[in-house]
């Protein structure tokens, strides 16, 4: 109602989520250029005729990964030739301290929501493989952070295969505790089958922790295996076990992964990098030839 009662003197509208696109008519900006940011699985579904009508009003599509865009146009081929640009996300700032050493215990960490609607992140496969991992890396522990209606099933699974003492469920933790756990672990595991990007990989890389991703989603786009970790096909158990054991093994190779993970984050995935990418993408739309007098990129700096 507030939007309908106002006049909006804008030339460009950035819509941050596909499901917000339906609100565009309420802002009464028929001449504005529309930019839509596609983030994940909600964009991978076939869009009905109502949403397709709204999507036809989009002048530029942005996506958080090439994978997200590929999934979107696979489900909605009508927009395959639409103007598009990938704008990788970023978080935080580089650490100003030396990389923390991991705990003596070989710990692998998983962080995600534990909900049945997102039962594609690799928890079941990793828990099932943990007995083999413990055989090769004695004392190895799997720490699972997150809460949701899937947790009970996963805890029951760990108990049935006899690894409940080696698989610890922490539930929801504070941001401070999460950062401590990332420092304690030797590697971060989330070989998901459906990540549109995966900000948590950046959190791990920022702490110099190599990541395990899958070969079928955007995780590999973020981590760039074998630069900052490894990628696996979850259907191959032996491949999964081998990759996790390699990431848990201390030594020169782990040190190289750790350093490269941190460097990859610092070189391209900080919040400042993301802001620069986004502004550079929007700048040509915001500043047209007719109204760019006296403006520069600095006018839009964060």
- Judged against a pLDDT cut of 90, whether residue 213 lies above it is answered with yes
34 by DSSP, 3-state: which? strand
Is residue 67 within 8 Å of residue 84, measured between CB atoms? no
- Judged against a pLDDT cut of 60, whether residue 299 lies above it is answered with no
DSSP 147: -
Q: Specify the higher pLDDT residue, 295 or 156.
A: 156
Which pLDDT value is given to residue 159? 97
For 299, residues 6+ apart whose C-beta sits below 8 A from its C-beta are 287
Which tens digits make up the pLDDT trace of 6-24?
776 788 899 999 999 998 8
Average pLDDT score over the chain? 92
Which tens digits make up the pLDDT trace of 137-167?
999 999 999 999 999 999 999 999 999 999 9
DSSP H/E element including 169: strand 167-171
Mean pLDDT of the 229-257 span = 96
Rounded to two decimals, what is the model's pTM? 0.90
Is residue 34 within 8 Å of residue 20, measured between CB atoms? no
Is residue 193 within 8 Å of residue 172, measured between CB atoms? no
- Judged against a pLDDT cut of 80, whether residue 5 lies above it is answered with no
Mean pLDDT of the 166-193 span = 97
- Judged against a pLDDT cut of 90, whether residue 180 lies above it is answered with yes
pLDDT confidence band for 300 (50 / 70 / 90)? very low
Domains of the chain from N-terminus onward: 12-90+271-300 (3.40.50), 107-268 (3.40.50.2000)
Which pLDDT value is given to residue 198? 95
> What are the DSSP calls for 36-52, one per residue?
EEE-SGGGSSPP-HHHH
31 by DSSP, 3-state: which? coil
- Judged against a pLDDT cut of 80, whether residue 34 lies above it is answered with yes
What percentage of the chain has pLDDT greater than the value 90? 83
pLDDT confidence band for 30 (50 / 70 / 90)? confident
Which pLDDT value is given to residue 288? 58
> What are the DSSP calls for 183-247, one per residue?
HH-SEEE---S--SS-HHHHHHHHTT--EEEESSSTHHHHHTTTTSEEEE-TT-HHHHHHHHHHH
């Amino acid at each position: 109602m507030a939007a309908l009662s106002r006049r909006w003197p804008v030339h460009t509208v950035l819509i941050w989520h596909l499901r917000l696109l339906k609100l565009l008519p309420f802002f009464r900006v028929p001449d504005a250029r529309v930019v839509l940011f596609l983030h994940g699985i909600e964009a991978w579904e076939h869009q009905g005729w109502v949403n397709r009508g709204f999507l036809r009003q989009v002048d530029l599509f942005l996506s958080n990964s090439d994978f997200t865009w590929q999934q979107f146009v696979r489900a909605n081929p009508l927009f395959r030739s639409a103007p598009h640009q990938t704008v990788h996300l970023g978080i935080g700032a580089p650490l100003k301290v030396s990389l923390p050493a991991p705990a003596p215990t070989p710990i692998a960490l998983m962080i995600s929501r534990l909900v049945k609607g997102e039962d594609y992140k690799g928890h079941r496969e990793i828990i099932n493989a943990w007995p083999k991992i413990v055989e090769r890396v004695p004392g190895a522990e799997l720490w699972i952070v997150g809460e949701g209606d899937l947790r009970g099933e996963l805890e029951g699974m760990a108990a049935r295969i006899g690894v409940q003492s080696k698989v610890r469920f922490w539930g929801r933790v504070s941001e401070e505790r999460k950062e401590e756990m990332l420092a304690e672990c030797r590697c971060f595991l989330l070989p998901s089958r459906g990540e549109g990007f995966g900000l948590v990989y950046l959190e791990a890389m920022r702490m110099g922790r190599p990541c395990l991703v899958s070969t079928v989603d955007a995780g590999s786009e973020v981590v760039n295996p074998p630069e900052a970790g490894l990628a696996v096909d979850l259907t191959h158990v032996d491949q999964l076990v081998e990759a996790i054991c390699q990431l848990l093994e201390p030594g020169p190779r782990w040190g190289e992964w750790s350093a490269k993970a941190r460097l990859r984050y610092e070189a391209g995935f900080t919040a400042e990098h993301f802001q620069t990418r986004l502004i550079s993408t929007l700048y040509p739309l915001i500043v047209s030839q007719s109204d760019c007098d006296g403006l520069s990129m600095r006018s839009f700096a964060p």
